[in-house]
Every structure is written in C-alpha cells, then in structure tokens.
C-alpha cells in the first residue's frame, strides 16, 4: 500500500552504519581502480587545455596540459559492468545504497588524507604557491594542476564525482525495486533527469577545460571535498525520500516537472554552447542567431542569451536543479538540498566572477555591465 516516508525512516536510511567499514574501503577502492583502468584502456579524444595563467607559466616548459577525454565511454562502461554484475548476482545491485552511510564516512577520510598529501607534497617539493595562512592554503589548495603518476587529479576527480553520483542513483532504483517490487514515477523522473545531465556533461566534456575550476582554481580541500564527497553523497539525497515515497505523481505534475526541466536544460545548454562557440571561433554565427556575433570590442559576447542577462547558464542550471527535487514533493526541505546549494554557490560565484572580470577587462567590463545590466533575470536582478 502507498505511504509517505516518516522523517525517522529517511534519517535511518541515511545514517546506517555511521562509521567507516572495510566493505566501504573495498567498494570505493574497486570503484576508483575501475574508473582509472577504464580511463586508460578506453579510447578518447586527445585535446589541449587552455594556457596556464601567468603565475603558473614556467619559461621553457609547455604552458598547457594535454588531456584524453573519454568520460562518457568510461561512465557508460562502468554502469554496464555494475548492472550486469548485479544481475548475475556477483554483487548486489543495491551495493552503493546499502553502504551509503559507511561509504560517506570513508570517502570523507579519503578527502582529508588526499588534501593533506597535496599540501605536504607541494611543500616538500617546492611546487606550491603558498600564502601566510595555513587554513587558506589547505582549504583552497596550493597547486593548479597536481598529478600523481602522470594522472591529472583535477580531471580524474571530476570523473569520480559524476560517475559516482549516477552509480549511487542506479543503486537506489534497485533498492526501491528490492523493497517494493516496483519503481515509482517519481523515482523514474529523478533518474531520467540526472542521467541526461550526466550524459550532457560528458558529451560536452571538452567544455570543462575552459571552466573556471580547471583554468584558475587551485586544487585543495574545497574542490577535493566537492568532487569526491559532495557530488556523490549530497547531490543524491533525493533518493532517500524517493525510496519510500510510493504515492505516484499525477500526470499533470509529471508534465509540469518535465516542462520545467526542458526549459532549464534548453537555457543551460544553449547558453553554455554559445559561450563555448564564441571562445573557440569568435566569428562564426552562434546557434539560434544569425551573422557574426555582437561583442563589446571583440572580447565580450553580447549576442544570444549572453545579451539578455550576464549569467544565463546559471539560471538554466537552477531550473534543472529544482526539477531534480520536485519529484519529492514539498513535505520536507531536505530533498531540496541540491538546488539550495547550487543557487547559493552560483550567486557567490557570480559576484566573484564579476570582480575577476572587472579586473581583467577593466573599461570593457563596465561597458558590458551597462549593455547587459542584470545578472540573472531581466529587470529584476
């Protein structure tokens, strides 16, 4: 019979068992090794990253990195192996969901250990850029692109993040089926949206190389935690609610949520694509526009969605994030953790980016702000 989960059921599901176990170490260890192995053996496109910022260029050495991009193939192969192994009863398909609590604690310890290693190894080798504050350096990192054995840790951690999140989701579908013998339309919507988001992310993996995280941010605790822990364990909390919420959504609600996702995804994809098109070939017409793109003195795009507001890609991402949570209904705030986080993060990021761009583009940025005065919503903010 359909019932809504009690708060106790939701909490119990999350915290069992609340300590690291050898099983968690084994599951995570095999996962990391599998992602590594698949990344090495599967074919990929070889591309060059953006040039390093001035502070990181060393005379006589290459000023950009080369990457092998095969994230989509790695992710799909990993899910295939996990599902086939589960169906053949080599491991339970519910493995990740059953070990959510101890995996979360174990991976947090990994994050602490890795962040400490990054700090100490940069100090010992003299590679890092340190400030006077240990807390700042540990939190923000002291190296731009640390690597171990030739593996670029920043890009590799992003693979663990995205593949781990969807693996967790798949495991929760299996958990609901194991518990109740069916999968709800709410669960299907959440899974469909997150799978499309993951697919899109890897389909345009190339675009990651021109994001702020990859080009400018050091790799320290903040990003290590974000990639290894937050994306896998916090992005997926909707599952705990969806698992026991057996009341189906009405067709009307399904249509509304699908519509919101479609609008958000269209804004997100078109805006990121238009900026990427402009950065790679400034003279070509942008998708859904005609003629050469309009710019501020050939450096800042004001055509397409970038002429409507200054952060159209964030707005699209917010609508997507809200549609990830809407299948859970409005009984609890907790399934809305991801959109709340993303909106907060992006507002802070938009302000920091504005400061960064006004320093970089100076008068041009002022002109851009006059031409496109709003951050997110025309005539509002």
Dihedral sign (CA 212, 218, 221, 227)? positive
Question: What CA dihedral angle connects 39, 119, 141 and 104, to 10 degrees?
Answer: 60
Please, what is the minimum distance in Å from the beta carbon of residue 162 to ligand NDP?
Answer: 10
360 binds ligand NDP (CB under 6 A): yes
Please, what is the minimum distance in Å from the beta carbon of residue 125 to ligand NDP?
Answer: 29
Please, what is the minimum distance in Å from the beta carbon of residue 164 to ligand NDP?
Answer: 14
Q: In this chain, which of 42, 138, 353, 369 binds ligand NDP, going by CB under 6 A?
A: 353
Q: In this chain, which of 23, 25, 256, 357 binds ligand NDP, going by CB under 6 A?
A: 357
Q: Which stretch binds ligand NDP (CB under 6 A): 25-33, 100-108, 186-194, 356-364?
A: 356-364
301: phi then psi, degrees, rounded to nearest 5: -75, 130
Contact 129, 218 (CB under 8 A): yes
Q: In this chain, which of 244, 356, 367, 369 binds ligand NDP, going by CB under 6 A?
A: 356
211 binds ligand NDP (CB under 6 A): yes
Q: Provide the token pair at 323.
A: 């549609």
Place of tokens 């761009």: 357
DSSP-derived 3-state class of residue 247: coil
Please, what is the minimum distance in Å from the beta carbon of residue 36 to ligand NDP?
Answer: 23
Please, what is the minimum distance in Å from the beta carbon of residue 281 to ligand NDP?
Answer: 13
DSSP state letter for 147: E
For every residue of 35-64, DSSP letters joined together read HHHHHHHS--EEEE-PPPPGGG--TTS-SS
Q: Which stretch binds ligand NDP (CB under 6 A): 18-26, 130-138, 169-177, 339-347?
A: 339-347
Residues in the chain: 381
**Secondary structure tally for the chain: helices H, strands E:** 16, 6
SS3 readout for 289-315: CCCCCCEECCCEECCHHHHCCCCHHHH
Binding mask 216-255 toward ligand NDP (x if CB under 6 A, else -) reads ----------------------------------------
Q: In this chain, which of 114, 142, 170, 300 binds ligand NDP, going by CB under 6 A?
A: 300
Please, what is the minimum distance in Å from the beta carbon of residue 292 to ligand NDP?
Answer: 14
Residue 180: partners with Cβ closer than 8 Å, 6 or more residues away: 246
Among 232, 80, 244, 90, which Cα is nearest to 169's? 232
Residues 45-104 that bind ligand NDP (CB under 6 A): none
Q: Which stretch binds ligand NDP (CB under 6 A): 39-47, 138-146, 175-183, 341-349?
A: 341-349
313 binds ligand NDP (CB under 6 A): yes
Residues 317-336 that bind ligand NDP (CB under 6 A): 317
SS3 readout for 177-233: HHHHCCCCHHHHHHHHHHHHHHHHHHHCHHHHCCCHHHHCCCCCHHHHHHHHHHHHH
178: phi then psi, degrees, rounded to nearest 5: -65, -40
Q: Provide the token pair at 83.
A: 């599902």
Q: In this chain, which of 349, 358, 364, 369 binds ligand NDP, going by CB under 6 A?
A: 349
Residue number, 104 or 305, with CB nearest to ligand NDP: 305
Q: Which residues bind ligand NDP (CB under 6 A)?
A: 211-212, 268, 272, 275, 300-301, 306, 311, 313-314, 317, 342, 345-346, 349, 353, 356-357, 360
């Amino acid at each position: 019979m359909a019932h809504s989960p009690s708060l106790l059921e939701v909490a119990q599901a999350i915290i069992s068992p609340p300590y690291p176990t050898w099983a968690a170490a084994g599951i995570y260890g095999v996962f990391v090794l599998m992602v590594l192995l698949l990344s090495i053996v599967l074919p990929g496109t070889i591309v060059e990253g953006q040039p390093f910022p001035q502070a990181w260029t060393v005379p006589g050495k290459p000023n950009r990195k080369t990457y092998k991009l095969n994230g989509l193939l790695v992710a799909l192969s990993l899910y295939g192996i996990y599902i086939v192994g589960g169906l053949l009863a080599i491991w339970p398909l519910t493995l990740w969901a059953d070990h959510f609590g101890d995996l979360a604690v174990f991976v947090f310890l990994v994050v602490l250990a890795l962040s400490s290693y990054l700090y100490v190894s940069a100090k010992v080798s003299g590679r890092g850029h340190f400030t006077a504050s240990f807390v700042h350096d540990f939190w923000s990192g002291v190296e731009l692109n640390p690597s171990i054995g030739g593996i670029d840790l920043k890009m590799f951690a992003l693979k663990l993040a995205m593949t781990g999140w969807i693996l967790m989701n798949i495991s929760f579908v299996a958990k609901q089926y194991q518990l109740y013998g069916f999968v709800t339309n709410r669960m299907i919507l959440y899974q469909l949206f997150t799978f499309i988001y993951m697919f899109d992310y890897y389909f345009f993996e190339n675009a990651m190389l021109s994001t702020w995280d990859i080009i400018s941010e050091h790799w320290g605790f903040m990003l290590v935690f974000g990639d290894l822990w937050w994306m896998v364990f916090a992005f997926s909390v909707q599952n705990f609610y969806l698992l026991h919420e057996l009341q189906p959504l009405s067709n009307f609600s399904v249509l509304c949520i699908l519509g919101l996702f479609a609008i958000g995804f269209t804004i997100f994809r078109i805006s990121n694509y238009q900026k990427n098109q402009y950065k790679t070939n400034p003279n070509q017409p942008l998708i859904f526009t005609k003629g050469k793109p309009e710019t501020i003195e050939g450096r800042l795009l004001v055509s397409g969605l970038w002429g409507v507001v200054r952060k159209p890609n964030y707005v699209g991402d917010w609508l997507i994030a809200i549609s990830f949570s809407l299948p859970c209904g409005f009984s609890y705030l907790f399934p809305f953790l991801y959109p709340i986080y993303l909106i907060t993060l992006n507002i802070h990021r938009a302000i920091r980016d504005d400061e960064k761009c006004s320093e970089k583009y100076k008068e041009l940025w002022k002109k851009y702000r006059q031409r496109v005065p709003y951050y997110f919503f025309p005539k509002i903010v």
